[in-house]
A and B are shown apart, each in its own frame.
Chain A
Amino acid sequence: MASVSVSHLVLFIASLLIASMVAGTLVTGVDRVSSSMSEQSLETSESIRTDIDIISDPGSDAVVDGGDVVALVKNTGSKNLAAREDSIDVLLNGRYVPAEDLVVEELDDDGWKPGDVIRVTIDADANSDLQVQDSNRLTVIVDGNEALMRFRN
């Protein structure tokens, strides 16, 4: 009889141990998934709040200035954006413009707030990959949000 009780006790402890391991793995997994979801939702909400527009006047001579392409980009979203060369992606005629060929200037001193405008100058002369053609497409991407301007030289 004693051996039956001992074996029952061993089985009981083993079952509790296995159940604890299963529950522990479950809790750890849920914790990981929920923290990833939390980060992802923050990024998604920031991306949804971001909106930009290129407000340059393609009908004027100010867009192509010598060997430079100048775009005025307005923050039409509801969050402050970072106006830095490394936080803005620019494509000229589908070619990526590296940060060293870009100059980003804030036209209002206190950051790139909603409603504010920045000037993005692309030094197309300095990079042989970038060429201003007769018909051009300029794409500016901030936080996954794109704005496109088409202009003639």
Chain B
Amino acid sequence: MGLSVSGATAVILVGLLIGVGIAYPTLAGSLELVTDARDDRADQMADRQNSDIDIVTATYDGNVLTVEVDNDGTITLSVNATDVLVDGEYETEGNAAIDGVGSTDLWQPGERLEYTVSLDNQPQSMKVVAETGVADRTEVK
């Protein structure tokens, strides 16, 4: 009887060890996936909290709409990921420049984005949305 009990215990112990061996890497991997995603999310939330844009002027001269937007936040934003809506319509034709430089994608804190687009009619309102989703809206003068 003694040998049977210890033999059976040993077999179950081996089974337990194999089970732990299967479960541990999966559990550790799963936990890491979720933790990484949570960290990314927290970083994004921090970026969103730290971003702020402010439309300084939006003027239409009869042909061209010119908008000046300041990055009043503390993080660098992407120019390509910034969206402009004119009268609620998504605008894709315009040109953007940061402090006069049109080739950069980086819109650093304190810098001014100048966006120009040719329009046939006087627009009423416009909205600028930064890459983090933070937005500002103004009436066009």
Residues of A at the B interface (CB closer than 8 Å) are 8, 11-12, 14-16, 18-20, 22-24, 26-27, 29-31, 33-35, 37-38, 40-42, 44-46, 48-49, 51, 53, 55-57, 59-63, 72, 74, 76-78, 107, 114-117, 119
Contact = CB atoms under 8 A, between A and B. Distances in A.
Contacts of A44: 33-34, 37
Task: Select the residue from A56, A57, A107 with max chain B CB neighbours within 10 A.
Answer: A57
Contacts of A30: 19-20, 22-23
Contact of B44 (A12, A24, A78, A107): A78
Nearest to B29: A38
* Chain B binding surface SS class: helix
B87 A60 contact: yes
Interface residues of B, number: 51
A104 B78 CA distance: 25
Interface string B86-102: 01111010000000000
Nearest to A58: B88
Contacts of B89: 60, 62
Contacts of B36: 45
Name the 8 nearest CB pairs between A and B, nearest first.
Answer: A23-B15, A62-B88, A60-B88, A115-B81, A41-B30, A19-B8, A45-B37, A34-B26
12 contacts: A12-B4, A15-B4, A26-B16, A37-B27, A48-B38, A51-B41, A51-B44, A60-B87, A60-B124, A72-B83, A72-B85, A116-B81
B26 A19 contact: no
Contacts of A116: 81
Contacts of B41: 48-49, 51, 78
Contacts of B48: 76
Interface of B: 1, 3-5, 7-12, 14-16, 18-20, 22-23, 26-27, 29-31, 33-34, 36-38, 40-41, 44, 48, 78, 80-81, 83, 85, 87-90, 92, 124-125, 127, 129, 131-133, 135, 137
Contact of B3 (A12, A19, A34, A45): A12
Contacts of B88: 56-57, 59-63
A42 B18 CA distance: 24
Contact of A45 (B33, B81, B87, B137): B33
